[in-house]
Amino acid sequence: MYDIIILGSGPAGLTAALYAARGGKKTLVLGGDQLGGQMATIHSLENYPGTPGVNGLALANTMKEQAETFGAEFVFASAKTIGHKTYGIGHIYNVLADDGKEYESKSVIIATGAKPRRLDTKGIREFTGRGVSYCATCDGFFYTDKDVIVVGGGNSALNDALYLADHARSVRILYRKGAFSRGEAILVDRVLANEKISVMFDTEITEVGGPSPQSGAEASGVEYVITNKGEKIECAGVFIAIGHEANTDYLSESVLRDEQGRLAPKNLPDGMYVAGDVQSELKMQVATAVGAGCDAAMDCIIYINSMK
Q: With contact defined as beta carbons under 8 Å apart, do 241 and 157 qualify?
A: yes
Between CA 250 and CA 242 the distance in angstroms is 23
**Interacting residues of 136 by C-beta distance below 8 A, sequence separation 6+:** 150, 159, 160, 163, 164, 239, 241
Between CA 237 and CA 223 the distance in angstroms is 8
- From residue 233, give the alpha-carbon distance in Å to each of 10, 154, 230, 271, 293: 36, 22, 10, 52, 42
Rounded to 5°, angle at Cα 72 from 68 and 73? 100
* Mean pLDDT value of segment 283-300: 95
Query: Of 102, 300, 27, 86, which is closest to residue 94 (Cα–Cα)?
Result: 102
Query: Is the pTM value of this prediction over 0.95?
Result: no
pLDDT in tens, 70-128: 999 999 999 999 998 877 667 799 999 999 999 999 999 999 998 888 898 999 998 99
Whether 217 shows a pLDDT value over 60: the answer reads no
Catalytic residues: 135, 138-139
* Most confident stretch, 43-47, 131-135, 174-178: 174-178
pLDDT of residue 215: 41
pLDDT in tens, 116-165: 888 989 999 989 988 999 988 889 999 999 999 999 999 889 989 999 99
Pairing of strands 114-116, 132-133: unpaired
State the angle between helix axes of 286-306 and 11-22 in degrees (0 to 180), rounded to the nearest 10. 40
Secondary structure (H, E, C), 35-99: CCHHHHHCCCECCCCCCCCECHHHHHHHHHHHHHHCCCEEECCCEEEEEEEEECCEEEEEEEECC
